[in-house]
Chain A
Amino acid sequence: MHMDGVPGITQCPIAPNDYFVYEFKALQYGSSWYHSHYSVQYADGLLGPMTIHGPSTAQWDEAKLPLLMSDWFHNSAFGVIHEKLPGYTTTVLNGTGDVTKYKYPYDTGKRDAQDKPIIDYFNVVPNAPVPAPYQLHFESKSSTTGKVKRYVLRLINTSFATTFLFSIDHHEFQVIGADFVPVMPGNKTRYLQIGIGQRYTVIVTAAPVKHMNSSDGDSWNDAVQWDGDHPNFWIRTSVVNCFKAETFPQADFNRTGVLRYNSNDQREPITKPWKVRQEDLEWNNNTKKYQIACKDEVNLKPSLPWKIPPIPGNNDKGLGRGEEFSVRTSVFNESHTKQGDYPLAKWSFERDAKKDKFYPLQIDYDDPFFLNLHKNLEHSKDDAWKKKWVVIDEAYTDKDWVSMSCSRSTCCC
């Protein structure tokens, strides 16, 4: 508990020139990452991969280094949020990106016929060497088994504000792990949507798919050719526009990596991406175009069946819904709050939806909540939990399962 590394909850922050020793057991196995939890600090780069080696639900030959995909700002996230410094967001794969591939909007100062500002776009001029895209190397055959080689990729989205769609041109893969949960190997897929913090362990076979006939009934309708003599493939981290924004410069570019079968062949890939299926697309009314639909991966089946007791409560289907809360994000046009009141605290849930006061969840860095567990609302004023912690007091035991689900009808989670 105290080792979870969350300032204001499990510990005080570590001050400059101090140190702290974390110690915990790896009871689970799989792919994950570590990151700062001091406000938005992790967006400034304080993060890295963490792997706990263990068994898998399918067979494979070799694992590659964890692949971290992220948005990348060029000023500290604190400055971008509080001082409105420009971020010039790009995408990086294991710390490698290309700022020249993006165009950022700016107000020209001129007005059009409807008196709306005329926006133009500019390129950021590099002031440092632009690195080559991140490289992965595959061998077609395993020297141990003599058969086609199966590689494990540990995909991790370490972003601050970006959902990615990961794909490798002409390659399919199978998901065998989601976060720390081993998953029954499913059907092969061509792309995978990965939300912030999510990890997927996938098996990629070192056998590129050359060509799919649209007439074979496959609704993906892919007709992309692969030149068999050109063994270089783009690895793509496509930005999913979950905010349905009208402009999203970061979405300009997705070719952040290259997969090579022959390290002597350093040519740029000429491959084209998989076509996204119609059911994975959605209409953006702002851009008047189809874009990748922002949605969860489903049909993931844990390999270890856990028995979860039924959820208490009643609804007309006879299924429990448990306790329901009203969730709100800060709404800046509410008359009783100003945007400046809670610049970063934006989320709250309450038992009574009719309350007219918005209480976002807030923590105290100098009074971690874990040191206050013994207090409760019945105690005297000095001993009570602070209102801003929005404590929901429940009598769970260590045998209970607790699940929290956010639905779109009550919030925009």
Chain B
Amino acid sequence: MKFWLTITQLVGWFSSSTIDEDVSQQPLPGPLDLRLSPSRILGNPETLLAPAESKDVAVIHDVPILPIEKGPTFKPPSGRLNWGGSNFECEYPEMVGWLPCSSEEDRSCWLYHNTTGKRYGIESNYEDPSINGTPIGKLREYTLVVEDGVWNADGFMAKDVKLVNGTYPGPWIQACWGDTIRVKLINKLKHNGTAIHWHGIRQFNVSADVRIHASSI
């Protein structure tokens, strides 16, 4: 959006009036998203024209925006990339003031609050809904496409295989304690219906608004 704005401003400034007669009709940027850092909103200062010289163009003033405090982001204890690990990160943006505390010498701790001393760890009762036994994570979104295929696992081609995103086993779904997991499952099988069960997940206080959750492609 901001790139388009930059180009039209340049055009408006350098071209004759045949290209853009009414410069005030240029598209304005959408509602400002305050969660973006200041540089995202203002754009690169070198590409914007000096506001004083284009009166009819939307002017974006240099308004300082205070950084929003966020909770911690950290790599969960996992593997290294070249030997079967991953670059996945845990994020708890809403848990301001909390810090990650899992280490090689103490895996019992997960998050702790440096002023109250409270912590989420191995002793937290995540089963009891009346207490805050679970931290507040973030939304993780995945898309899984199920298709018919053939697959060589052991030297003899298997037929009528049902592949998830083209592989057996399917992709690794990761999340962190407290996250909301959202998976869009697309059925591209020719002859079968399907559904995916999340083995062991308690599904506590979960229900479906079928209108937004299911549809035809």
Residues of A that sit less than 8 Å from B by CB: 1-7, 11-30, 32-38, 41, 44-66, 68, 72-76, 78-79, 88, 90, 92, 94-100, 124, 126-131, 136-137, 142, 144-145, 152, 158, 179-180, 182, 197, 199, 303-304, 306, 365
Task: Tell me the bound Cα distance from A80 to B108 in angstroms.
Answer: 46
Determine whether the beta carbon of B164 is less than 8 Å from that of A17.
no
Which residues of chain B come closer than 8 Å to A158, judged between CB atoms?
A: 169
**With A56-B108, A64-B79 in contact, do A49 and B214 touch (Cβ < 8 Å)?**
no
Do B195 and A53 touch across chains, with their CB atoms under 8 A apart? no
Given A95-B151, A128-B155, A180-B201, list of 15 further CB < 8 A pairs?
A23-B182, A27-B127, A29-B126, A34-B173, A34-B199, A45-B169, A50-B199, A53-B176, A55-B102, A59-B107, A64-B84, A72-B158, A76-B159, A129-B155, A197-B199
B186: shortest Cβ distance to chain A, in Å?
4
Say whether B213 faces chain A, with CB atoms less than 8 Å apart.
Answer: yes
| Among all A-B residue pairs, the 5 with the closest Cβ atoms | A13-B193, A48-B170, A97-B154, A130-B155, A126-B155
Given A46-B170, A47-B169, A68-B169; A36-B162 close (CB under 8 Å): yes
Provide the residues of chain B in CB contact with A55, threshold 8 Å.
102, 107-110, 120-122, 177
Contacts of A127 in B (CB 8 A): 155-157
Q: Please, which residues of chain A bring their CB within 8 A of the CB of B180? A: 23-26
Q: How far is the CB of B55 from chain A (nearest CB, A)?
A: 48
Asked whether, in the complex, the Cβ of A59 is within 8 Å of the Cβ of B104, the reply is: yes
Complex: how many Å from CA A282 to CA B38? Answer: 70
**Shortest distance from the beta carbon of A67 to any chain B beta carbon, whole Å:** 10
Task: Judge if B51 is at the interface, Cβ distance under 8 Å.
Answer: no
- B118 interface hit (Cβ, 8 Å): no
Cβ of B191 within 8 Å of any chain A Cβ, yes or no, is yes
Contact at B108–A48, with CB atoms within 8 Å?
Answer: no
Query: Is B146 at the interface (CB under 8 A from chain A)?
Result: yes
Which of B3-11, B39-47, B204-212 sits within the interface? B204-212
Chain A residues whose C-beta falls within 8 Å of the C-beta of B151 in the assembled complex: 45, 95
Would you give the shortest CB distance from B205 to chain A, in whole angstroms?
8
A21–B187 touching, CB < 8 Å: no
- Residue from A26, A73, A95 in contact with B177 in the complex, judged by beta carbons closer than 8 Å: A26
Q: Are A24 and B158 in contact (CB under 8 A)?
A: no
Q: Are A34 and B197 in contact (CB under 8 A)?
A: yes
CA distance A185 to B151 in the complex (A): 39
Residue contact A14 to B214, C-beta cutoff 8 Å: yes
Could you show 14 A-B contacts with beta carbons less than 8 Å apart? Answer: A4-B198, A13-B194, A17-B187, A22-B213, A24-B180, A28-B200, A48-B164, A53-B177, A56-B122, A79-B160, A95-B169, A96-B153, A99-B156, A137-B83
Contact B187 A53 (CB under 8 A): no
Q: Does the CB pair A74–B157 fall under 8 Å?
A: yes
User: Once the chains are docked, how many angstroms separate the CA of A229 from the CA of B14?
Assistant: 75
Residue in B127, B134, B195 whose CB lies within 8 Å of A7: B195
B92 to chain A, nearest CB (A): 12
User: Which residues of B, 163-184, contact A by the 8 Å Cβ criterion?
Assistant: 163-164, 167-184
Residues A45 and B194 in contact, CB atoms below 8 Å apart: no
Q: Which residue of A lies closest to B82 (CB)?
A: A137
**A38 and B193 form a contact (CB under 8 A):** yes
- Note all chain B residues with C-beta closer than 8 A to A180: 200-201
Q: Verify B194–A28 contact, CB threshold 8 A.
A: no
Contact assessment for B208 and A18 in the assembled complex, using a CB-CB cutoff below 8 Å: no
- Residue with the highest number of chain B CB atoms closer than 10 Å, among A63, A74, A90: A74
Whether B169 and A53, one on each chain, are in contact in the complex, defined by CB atoms closer than 8 angstroms, is no
User: How many angstroms from the CA of A130 to the CA of B153 in the assembled complex?
Assistant: 8
Nearest chain B residue, comparing its CB with the CB of A13: B193
Task: Tell me which of B85, B163, B177, B201 has the highest count of chain A C-beta atoms within 10 A of its own C-beta.
Answer: B201
Determine the residue in chain B with the shortest Cβ distance to A100. Answer: B155
A contact residues around B133 at 8 Å (CB) = 27
Q: Which chain B residues lie closer than 8 Å to A13 at the CB level?
A: 193-195
Query: Is B73 interfacial (CB 8 A cutoff)?
Result: no
